[in-house]
Amino acid sequence: MPHISPTMGRFGLSLLRHISALPSSFSAHRATRTCCLHQPRVSIGSLSSHSCQLRRTVSTAVSHHIQELSGPEQRLLDKLYDGLIGGQRASLAESITLVETQHPRKKELAQVLLQRVLAYRRQQESRNGGKPVAFRVGLSGPPGAGKSSFIEVVGKMLTGRGHKLAVLAVDPSSCTTGGSLMGDKTRMTELSRDMNAFIRPSPTSGTLGGVTRTTNEAIVLCEGAGYDIVLVETVGVGQSEFAVADMVDMFVLLIPPAGGDELQGIKRGIIERADLVVVTKSDGDLVVPARRIQAEYTSALKLLRKKSKSWNPKVVRASSHTSEGIPEVWAKMESYRDAMLASGELQGRRRAQQKVWMWSLIQESVLCHFQNHPSVGEALPRLEERVTRGVISPGLAADLLLKAFSSSSS
């Protein structure tokens, strides 16, 4: 587990006070602030003046409460923030690297940067009538479902229509190197060369909480950089899909045809979370099996409890090879977004997701504190040894460790 910096407590309290004070500090500037990202042509001088005005407003509040920032650190954050909201891909990549780090000091700097980007995004949403400025879509499915091919075809279609697309691929980590196993960026050859697309593989680092933190914060950074569509891809049908479903607006399940008894092979919980099911590879000899799978899932979804008053999950077929059905899939996604925005469910879903995100990070931090506690570290080897020998039960060992943690903490 990562070591906790002794300044994290003071930093957290300072950041909390900063968040509380931030809206009032921005209210005076909201009338004169103009949105830079969605104007077709913006001069460098105009963009610089707007970004400087917003940066000075946020920096004043941040610097008042966080005194630990050195000159080089402040210049680094200013450079990343200016480049990020200016749409520079290199600044976005460097910012995501900063939020993914496990270095205690760099994690603190990442939170300062995120607060600035969040404030900028709130202003954008205010100018957009309180509606989100980006659409978040989660994509999942078993290995071999054709997720990367599907994303490349859909991505090229969307960038051709004038959208800016960010793809965050949550990959399982290598046990040896800790890096990503899937290599999505190398498989999306055409999309990775598109200047209106940004592809970022994110290794899980062996922890589900790491997926939640880094992916959610990377979404915020991508939206701050002007990407209006964010696709989050995961592999498999396990717990990571539930984590991703709690940070996107729409969850899409991709299913390959001719894969055996599909309803037995896919966990029911994943199907319940899906807002749209796409049967992929529906071309050639697989058209008939794809239609059969589509009929099976359509019948199965009717038996599940509705999770939205404004949308009934749909099942569609598509082929990344021939592009047949791809425009219809995006049309279904747009219909979902419009229906959820009109009813207000999408905004409510995002608010609920923020609470889920907060509590998952609390659980991660509490576990880290517990494992690094001196009393726990002293008693842990002895209790582990007794549990492995069968002298005491795991439940009793856990109670003893929790008692040692709570008694010394109080």
CB atoms inside a 10 Å sphere around CB 78:
16
| Domain final position from 344, 361, 384 | 344
Q: Which domain holds residue 388?
A: 373-408
pLDDT of residue 140: 87
| Domain final position from 307, 325, 344 | 344
Q: What is the mean pLDDT of residues 18-36?
A: 37
pLDDT of residue 31: 34
Q: Same domain, yes or no, for 205 and 330?
A: yes
Measured between alpha carbons, how far is 209 from 168 in angstroms, rounded to an integer?
16
pLDDT in tens, 128-159: 888 899 999 999 888 888 888 999 999 999 99
Q: Same domain, yes or no, for 149 and 209?
A: yes
* 162 within some domain: yes
Q: Same domain, yes or no, for 164 and 79?
A: no
Measured between alpha carbons, how far is 101 from 105 in angstroms, rounded to an integer?
9
| Domain final position from 344, 365, 385 | 344
pLDDT of residue 33: 34
Q: Same domain, yes or no, for 69 and 199?
A: no
* 21 within some domain: no
β-sheet bridge partners, residue 252: 139, 276
Mean of pLDDT over the chain: 79
CB atoms inside a 10 Å sphere around CB 120:
24
Residue 168: pLDDT over 70:
yes
pLDDT of residue 203: 64
* 15 within some domain: no
Q: What is the mean pLDDT of residues 77-94?
A: 95
pLDDT in tens, 258-275: 665 555 445 566 788 889
Q: Give the CA count within 13 Å in the CB-facing half-sphere of 169.
A: 23
pLDDT of residue 61: 46
Residues of the chain with pLDDT > 90, as a percent, come to 47
Q: Same domain, yes or no, for 66 and 164?
A: no
Q: Same domain, yes or no, for 221 and 110?
A: no
Measured between alpha carbons, how far is 268 from 256 in angstroms, rounded to an integer?
16
Q: Same domain, yes or no, for 261 and 113?
A: no
pLDDT of residue 172: 61
* 204 within some domain: yes
pLDDT in tens, 198-244: 998 876 655 544 455 688 899 999 999 999 999 998 866 556 667 77
Intra-chain end-to-end CA distance of the chain, in Å: 23
Instruction: Name residue 95's amino acid.
Output: S
* 387 within some domain: yes
The CATH number linked to 83 is 1.20.5.170
The CATH number linked to 274 is 3.40.50.300
* Residues 6 or more apart whose Cβ sits within 8 Å of residue 246: 212, 353, 356, 357
Alpha-carbon distances of 339 from 205, 229, 343, rounded to whole Å: 36, 17, 6
* 122 within some domain: yes
Instruction: Name residue 380's amino acid.
Output: L
Q: Same domain, yes or no, for 71 and 158?
A: no
* 390 within some domain: yes
Which letter, b or e, does each residue of 342-361 get, where b requires 16 or more Cβ atoms within 10 Å of its Cβ? Answer: eeebbbebeeebeebbeebe
Q: Same domain, yes or no, for 143 and 116?
A: no
* Structural domains in the chain (count): 3
Q: Same domain, yes or no, for 186 and 201?
A: yes
3-state helix, strand, coil in the chain (%, to 5): 60, 10, 30
Radius of gyration of the chain (CA): 23
Q: Same domain, yes or no, for 260 and 285?
A: yes
* 116 within some domain: yes
Q: Same domain, yes or no, for 288 and 381?
A: no
Binned at pLDDT 50, 70 and 90, residue 75 comes out as very high
